[in-house]
């Protein structure tokens, strides 16, 4: 396995730039510091308490075999620090005196930088400033956990932007669906709403009842969607990443609560039009409606012979005409006729 040997003056200098627990580590002329896991695969490195490094040109290889007769033998201490260089699966820190006395031939230099997390500037702006400062030299590359994290954050932010757009489309579709469901419910329960209005329910109470119904539908669907999303997301992450690392279930409860609040507000807004339609119909008119499955519109009523009003015919009867009721042009008792509306004989306006 090829590793990168990096010389440092002491463990104290390494502690000043590395965010890792180095309490049991040591670095001297005969001791090196190696990571616990590979930076590429995440698996534990097969390095024993003593390793022999064969320095060959630009790379170094390590072996735990004790039968090797040549190479640099060093005692190994372990620490769980993260990726230092993306070009090698492991970076081993040794004492810088091994480079100064010619034991190891140096092929380059490395500058370890620590980001001040208490600074007000963001991580992305700091990374861009480092790239701009080091971009003038073509032989300098910026690698490490921060660079890799910034690249992943850029990719994830792009994916999240697409997901937010899809979420907005889903909210609009849900808004239309809830409004359609409530509209159908209002049409089916026209007589029930009229009965409630007739026994004393106000328009505001009817509006609130429909809003509560929409709110219950949205919250139940939202909670079910959150639970199913967390379950399927955890299952998918476990199937993909369980080979290299152990996935940890992390739920952003703030964002989840925000999604539920948006769903609740959208449901309340979707109930405005159906509620307005329900309260705009007078109770007397809603109770007087005669519905028959053969008539397409709720304002159509059947007419019998001679234009007189009759109950809905049975399916065995001949088809009847369907007319839209109109308000008479003047006072008096009116009845329908084949030619339109005509005054009744007992009406004061008859014969005028």
Q: Residue 295: its pLDDT value, please?
A: 43
Q: What is the mean pLDDT of each run of 10 residues along the chain (352 residues)?
A: 88 87 88 88 83 64 42 89 83 91 86 78 77 75 77 85 87 82 83 86 89 89 90 87 76 88 87 85 74 46 46 48 50 44 44 43
Rounded Cα gap, residues 237 and 220, in angstroms:
26
Q: Residue 33: its pLDDT value, please?
A: 93
For the chain, report the end-to-end CA distance as a whole number of angstroms. 113
Residues 276 and 313 in one domain: no
Q: Which two tokens stand for residue 25?
A: 């580590």
Cα separation values, 336 from 153, 269, 301, 324, 346, Å: 75, 42, 12, 11, 15
- Tell me the three state secondary structure of residue 227: helix
Residues 252 and 319 in one domain: no
Spatial neighbors of 207 by CB under 8 A, at least 6 apart, are 271, 275, 276, 278, 279
Select from 114, 133, 165 the last residue of a domain: 114
List, in sequence order, every residue forming a beta bridge with 34; answer none if it has no partner.
78
Residues 257 and 306 in one domain: no
Residues 264 and 308 in one domain: no
Rounded Cα gap, residues 234 and 247, in angstroms:
8
Integer Rg of the chain from CA: 40
Rounded Cα gap, residues 237 and 26, in angstroms:
37
Residues 28 and 66 in one domain: yes
The number of folded domains in the chain is: 3
Neighbours of 78 (CB within 10 A): 16
Residues 194 and 269 in one domain: yes
Torsion of CA 48, 114, 157, 236, to 10 degrees: 20
Asked whether residue 265 is assigned to any structural domain, the reply reads yes
Q: Residue 244: its pLDDT value, please?
A: 66
DSSP, residue by residue, 58-108: TEEEEE--TT--SSEEEEEEEE----S-TTSS-EEEEETHHHHTTSS----
Domain that holds residue 75: 2-114
Asked whether residue 348 is assigned to any structural domain, the reply reads no
Residues 309 and 220 in one domain: no
Q: Residue 212: its pLDDT value, please?
A: 92
Q: Residue 220: its pLDDT value, please?
A: 92
Q: Which residue is it, tokens 């500037």?
A: 121
Closest by CA to 53, choosing from 6, 96, 93, 3, is 3
Select from 114, 132, 159 the last residue of a domain: 114
Spatial neighbors of 190 by CB under 8 A, at least 6 apart, are 278, 281, 286, 289, 298
Asked whether residue 192 is assigned to any structural domain, the reply reads yes
Residues 36 and 110 in one domain: yes
Rounded Cα gap, residues 32 and 45, in angstroms:
15
Residues 218 and 254 in one domain: yes
Asked whether residue 147 is assigned to any structural domain, the reply reads no
Asked whether residue 350 is assigned to any structural domain, the reply reads no
Q: Residue 228: its pLDDT value, please?
A: 93
Q: Residue 49: its pLDDT value, please?
A: 87
Spatial neighbors of 17 by CB under 8 A, at least 6 apart, are 112, 113, 114
Rounded Cα gap, residues 335 and 38, in angstroms:
93
Question: What is the DSSP secondary structure assignment for residue 43, as one 8-state letter?
Answer: P
Q: Residue 153: its pLDDT value, please?
A: 82
Asked whether residue 315 is assigned to any structural domain, the reply reads yes
Torsion of CA 335, 340, 346, 349, to 10 degrees: 130
Q: Residue 62: its pLDDT value, please?
A: 44
Q: Which residue is it, tokens 């590793």?
A: 3
Asked whether residue 316 is assigned to any structural domain, the reply reads yes
Phi, psi values for residue 236, rounded to 5°: -65, -40
Rounded Cα gap, residues 344 and 342, in angstroms:
7
Spatial neighbors of 324 by CB under 8 A, at least 6 apart, are 297, 299, 300
Select from 81, 114, 147 the last residue of a domain: 114
Its pTM stands at 0.48
Asked whether residue 130 is assigned to any structural domain, the reply reads no
Residues 307 and 276 in one domain: no
Q: Residue 332: its pLDDT value, please?
A: 45
Spatial neighbors of 167 by CB under 8 A, at least 6 apart, are 259
Residues 37 and 105 in one domain: yes
Residues 279 and 339 in one domain: no
């Amino acid at each position: 396995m090829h590793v990168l040997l990096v010389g440092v003056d002491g463990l104290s200098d390494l502690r000043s730039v590395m965010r890792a627990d180095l309490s049991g580590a040591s670095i001297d002329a005969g001791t090196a510091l190696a990571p616990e896991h590979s930076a590429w695969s995440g698996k534990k490195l097969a390095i024993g308490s003593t390793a022999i490094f064969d320095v060959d040109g630009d790379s170094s290889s390590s072996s735990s075999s004790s039968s090797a007769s040549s190479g640099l033998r060093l005692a190994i201490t372990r620490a769980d620090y993260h990726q230092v260089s993306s070009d090698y699966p492991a970076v081993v820190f040794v004492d810088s005196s091994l480079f100064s006395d010619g034991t190891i031939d140096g092929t380059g230099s490395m500058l370890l930088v620590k980001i001040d997390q208490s600074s007000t500037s963001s991580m992305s702006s700091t990374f861009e400033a480092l790239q701009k400062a080091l971009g003038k030299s073509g032989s300098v590359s910026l690698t490490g956990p921060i660079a890799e994290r910034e690249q992943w954050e850029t990719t994830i932010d792009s994916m999240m932007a697409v997901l937010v757009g899809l979420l907005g489309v889903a909210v609009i579709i849900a808004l239309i669906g809830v409004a359609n469901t409530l509209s159908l419910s209002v049409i089916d329960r026209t007589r029930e709403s009229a009965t409630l209005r007739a026994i004393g329910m106000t328009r505001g109470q009817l509006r609130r009842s429909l809003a509560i119904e929409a709110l219950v539908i949205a919250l139940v669907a939202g909670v079910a969607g959150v639970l199913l999303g967390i379950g399927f997301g955890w299952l998918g992450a476990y199937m993909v990443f369980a080979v290299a690392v152990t996935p940890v279930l992390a739920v952003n409860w703030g964002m989840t609560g925000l999604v539920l609040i948006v769903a609740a507000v959208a449901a309340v807004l979707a109930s405005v039009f159906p509620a307005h339609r329900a309260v705009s119909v007078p109770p007397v008119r809603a109770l007087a409606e005669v519905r028959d499955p053969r008539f397409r519109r709720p304002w159509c009523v059947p007419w019998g012979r001679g234009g007189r009003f009759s109950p809905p015919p049975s399916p065995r009867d001949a088809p009847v005409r369907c007319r839209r009721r109109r308000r008479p042009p003047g006072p008096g008792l009116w009845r329908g006729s084949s030619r339109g509306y005509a005054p009744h004989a007992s009406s004061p306006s008859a014969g005028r």
